Amino acid sequence: MDHIPILKMGSLLLVTIQVDMHDRLAMTLQDDLTERIVKDRATGVLIDISALDIVDSFIGRMISNTASMAKILDARTVLVGMQPAVAITLVELGLTLDGVITALNVDHGIELLKRPGKAGNRLLSF
């Protein structure tokens, strides 16, 4: 079974999606990531989707659901590297990605995760 690597950087987890996501891989990532949040006591999750050219409704919901699960486990999620076509598709599908903070790149994403306090369900962007 394929797995997407999850790297630990201090109290943060970094996920870089470099392959086309299919439904089974997305569900495996969601399971792996929630387990790692608990195991590593992570306070933040950074998901880099800069290599993705397309995102369907299932993947969009999976990202939103993963962020909700992370929040319940006391970790914030930042999504970085979204391509314009992906943003357009998500809006056209009516997906708002509630609870997901966004940033243009990894540096800004890490900066947001290192800030004290909880971002809650706000959608931030740079």
Query: Is residue 122 assigned to a domain?
Result: no
Where residue 62 sits, what CATH number does that domain have?
A: 3.30.750.24
Q: What pTM, to 2 d.p., does this model score?
A: 0.85
Query: Is residue 39 assigned to a domain?
Result: yes
The number of distinct structural domains making up the chain is 1
Query: Is residue 44 assigned to a domain?
Result: yes
Q: Which domain holds residue 69?
A: 6-114
Dist CA 54 CA 49 (whole Å): 10
pLDDT digit string, tens, across residues 74-119: 999 999 999 999 999 889 988 888 778 999 999 999 999 988 764 4
Query: Is residue 95 assigned to a domain?
Result: yes
| Residues 77, 71 contacting (CB under 8 angstroms) | yes
Query: Is residue 123 assigned to a domain?
Result: no
Q: What tokens were used for 119?
A: 């971002």
The answer for residues whose C-beta is within 8 angstroms of residue 103's C-beta and 6 or more apart is 78, 79, 80, 109, 111, 112, 124, 125, 126
pLDDT digit string, tens, across residues 48-81: 999 988 888 888 888 888 889 999 999 999 999 9
